[in-house]
Structure 1
């Protein structure tokens, strides 16, 4: 490790130390067998502890080792690993892994806070080829930890206190989101983060990641949370003593009282905040009543195993069917097709088994419900058949990322040509019942339409959007309500050309 830093006196100082972190072993010595930790150090051995070489001695040794010297006013650290064990990774794969690992462990140093630029810059190269270091604000799920950090430093932060002995421990920030499952990577697996994030990032005032401490799993596989705890400056020495040589944990059992109490209480306070975040361990207040269905769904949906989700899209009408106008003055006709878990029963007026959204269009399907007085179909030369607008869902609803948020997406097309106006019909449902709410529940949020996305990726944020029918696939982007099942219906109207 080759480093250049500025001392407390303002002078630049170069440092160099070598180390090996390997497995412990037992060596036979004249006085008997002796166990070694497997950690070896190279540097200044003049004292009882191996210290870094400093100044000109460090610069000369670094030059002999072939390390690039620092510029006159340059600071930083270079870490050189000699003959590494890459676990069968190719060098370029190892470089990509290092770039991602840097972000997982050092993201607090990579983000700008207020008007301040990032504290550090990082780069990874292999054989002259740069490997980009991921941006934590644009990388899932690290973007959640960034949001939790901003909550921690802002008004939403929670002060954690130890009551006996009384001591301010630090601040905690938490965020909870609906999110699609994660794709685990080699770097995230090393931190025991797989397809769900339910962790609190622990750090000391220096804002280097110590570890990601797992908390209770949320009741839904499509929900996650992230937290950031930063120790108070006055507590830094205590948390530092709780760390092992690898600096990747806080072990209260390695401390004496009351220091061990502070660290253990930190974990207890974090757990209490997580219980509140997930609505665990709550009790009903005496006399509570008049709770709306959506609020009850929010509280109890986690008790229904496997019920979270948005299910499959179902179309109850045949796309592309036709009908006769009842009047020339009629400007538009409306069709509503729901898509969600626990969908409503098809309209009885349809009177027949309905095909799925993917069924072929029957261009010869005409509406002949209009009858003459003798019971025979009534036709008029001026009554020209026109295809009725229909919604055709494309696949099941799914979760996706949009503008640093997870959204529920329903793809659809309007197979009938011509301009048509689409609107959204959103509701929440209770798992295992036909209960449906379209009014905001007490104490719970409702799903919200974020916009209509066309095939070019442009999002139209208006509540109603005029779409030209055809084979183009559109996407309805919905922010779902947490802890509920979201029901999506898309309404379509034919727009008369002016």
Structure 2
């Protein structure tokens, strides 16, 4: 494995290159007797420790030497002012995996371990941009927020609102956030399963202030089989040294028992508080659905397997209600469907009046979630064009038999718009969204579904007229 890095040290930029191979542990004889080695072999600039052991160590090549060797090895050079890291695996052994499976594993492993660094910062840019290339072919790297089992951790990270502290020692230990959720369907990718997330999500993601995942700590599973939770604990910068000292050589755990004194008390208290929060999240609690007959969240979750479709989806639709958010009987819409039926991101480019230009970009398929203790379905989207937008959600119910009702049965529940949220913290409870486009914000429409139905959504967008 070759690692070619361009990093910033103070006001200067330095290039580094080192190679290593990972093998089994072994023991060999030295002048001081038997000595155990980890099995990690390094290639670079050999340095002598200068002691009586006669043991040397390896430092990376730096500067022009690093650039020259990297170029001779076929690694792409960095632009003059760019920073980053290239990891090249030479003659890889994929074992039982095919090349495509191995590349997918690498891309998924990067996302599940590095996702906090992939989120946009205050300037709208992520600190880390990831790419995977195999024999010249680019392998897609997923958006962490759009990965079903990982997205809730992203939401919890963005909404960390609890400070964990040790009051008697007067120390802030870190910040914590937890998001209840309806368990996504299917299995998470292989790297997540290897990290202990199998099926349901009931874990806390532990990280130090450098925002790299240390571990997904498993907590108790909720009694409701459809429910789960995703939590995030980020150690305070003043506690970084303490948690770093608790990590094994693999940096994939916090072993509090390695510590002593106040450090043991501080780290131990943090872990107990994290586990207590997860225990509280797993405790049974009443969840109601505001309709005639109550529906359990487990049943609701199963109903949500085909939860939202676009106006052009399969089956007929019952669309009814009032002008502010629910389409009237017989009303026609010029919009394209909101649901993208597993097509991935797509743009809707026609507004209600048929005037083109006001686009809505759907970022992923709708997914079930929990908002303020209630089951909702979420459609994430962006407004890519600059200008004052007005976005309206038209809701309906798809009927499995292919028929179409003009109005709901008397007393029947109908889907409702609960509100609109953005990744910048905006929140609106209006039936229509008025927002500026072209600013890169990711918006989410929150819909409360009607029980025992499949909810149909169309987003209608137009540019608002703004008086001078």
Structures share fold, TM-score greater than 0.5: yes
Aligned equivalent of 2:261: 257
SS of the equivalent of 1:422 reads: coil
- The TM-score with structure 2 as length reference comes to 0.62
Q: 1:412 is matched with which residue: 379, 388, 399?
A: 399
- The TM-score with structure 1 as length reference comes to 0.59
Q: Is 1:309–2:299 an aligned residue pair? A: yes
1:30 Cα deviation from its structure 2 partner: 7.7
1:97 Cα deviation from its structure 2 partner: 1.4
1:266 Cα deviation from its structure 2 partner: 1.2
Q: 1:222 is matched with which residue: 220, 226, 231?
A: 226
Q: Is 1:4–2:12 an aligned residue pair? A: no
Q: How big is each residue's C-alpha offset from its partner over 1:99-150, in whole Å with a ceiling of 9 and x where there is no partner?
A: 1111111111111245431111111122222111001111111110110011
What are the within-5 Å matches in structure 2 for residues 79-228 of structure 1? Answer: 79-152=87-160, 157-228=161-232
Given that 1:424 and 1:489 are in contact with CA atoms closer than 8 Å, whether structure 2 keeps it comes out as no
Q: Is 1:421–2:407 an aligned residue pair? A: yes
1:23 Cα deviation from its structure 2 partner: 2.0
Q: How big is each residue's C-alpha offset from its partner over 1:147-202, in whole Å with a ceiling of 9 and x where there is no partner?
A: 001111xxxx1100123433110100100012343323212212111111111111
Q: How big is each residue's C-alpha offset from its partner over 1:217-239, in whole Å with a ceiling of 9 and x where there is no partner?
A: 11122111101111111111111
What is the alpha-carbon distance in structure 1 between the residues aligned to residue 58 and residue 301 of structure 2? 62
What is the alpha-carbon distance in structure 1 between the residues aligned to residue 108 and residue 453 of structure 2? 40
1:78 Cα deviation from its structure 2 partner: 0.8
What is the alpha-carbon distance in structure 1 between the residues aligned to residue 192 and residue 266 of structure 2? 29
What are the within-5 Å matches in structure 2 for residues 216-295 of structure 1? Answer: 216-279=220-283
What is the alpha-carbon distance in structure 2 between the residues aligned to residue 166 and residue 78 of structure 1? 42
Q: 2:59 is matched with which residue: 43, 51, 58?
A: 51
Task: Give the paired residue count.
Answer: 331
Aligned equivalent of 2:462: none
1:216 Cα deviation from its structure 2 partner: 1.0
1:423 Cα deviation from its structure 2 partner: 4.9
Aligned equivalent of 1:67: 75
Distance verdict in 2 for CA 1:11–1:415, change over 3 Å: closer
SS of the equivalent of 1:73 reads: coil
Distance verdict in 2 for CA 1:479–1:401, change over 3 Å: farther
1:53 Cα deviation from its structure 2 partner: 2.0
What is the alpha-carbon distance in structure 2 between the residues aligned to residue 120 and residue 308 of structure 1? 38
What is the alpha-carbon distance in structure 1 between the residues aligned to residue 28 and residue 235 of structure 2? 40
Distance verdict in 2 for CA 1:72–1:269, change over 3 Å: same
Structure 2, unaligned runs of 5 or more: 50-56, 290-294, 304-363, 370-374, 378-395, 418-429, 432-445, 455-468
1:425 Cα deviation from its structure 2 partner: 5.5
Q: How big is each residue's C-alpha offset from its partner over 1:439-496, in whole Å with a ceiling of 9 and x where there is no partner?
A: xxxxxxxxx7248xxxxxxxxx99xxxxxxxxxxxxxx9747xxxxx96489xxxxxx
Of 74-83 and 201-210, the range deviating more from structure 2:
74-83
Decide which structure has greater strand share. 2
1:66 Cα deviation from its structure 2 partner: 2.9
1:26 Cα deviation from its structure 2 partner: 3.2
What is the alpha-carbon distance in structure 2 between the residues aligned to residue 426 and residue 241 of structure 1? 59
RMSD, aligned CA: 3.5
Q: 1:449 is matched with which residue: 392, 402, 415?
A: 415
Given that 2:44 and 2:59 are in contact with CA atoms closer than 8 Å, whether structure 1 keeps it comes out as yes
What is the alpha-carbon distance in structure 2 between the residues aligned to residue 312 and residue 222 of structure 1? 8
Distance verdict in 2 for CA 1:20–1:253, change over 3 Å: farther
What is the alpha-carbon distance in structure 2 between the residues aligned to residue 95 and residue 293 of structure 1? 42
Q: 2:366 is matched with which residue: 402, 419, 424?
A: 402
Structure 1, unaligned runs of 5 or more: 283-291, 296-300, 314-399, 428-447, 452-460, 463-476, 481-485, 491-498
Aligned equivalent of 2:423: none
Q: How big is each residue's C-alpha offset from its partner over 1:314-358, in whole Å with a ceiling of 9 and x where there is no partner?
A: xxxxxxxxxxxxxxxxxxxxxxxxxxxxxxxxxxxxxxxxxxxxx
Given that 2:398 and 2:453 are in contact with CA atoms closer than 8 Å, whether structure 1 keeps it comes out as no
What is the alpha-carbon distance in structure 2 between the residues aligned to residue 59 and residue 165 of structure 1? 49
Larger radius of gyration: 1
Given that 1:27 and 1:33 are in contact with CA atoms closer than 8 Å, whether structure 2 keeps it comes out as yes
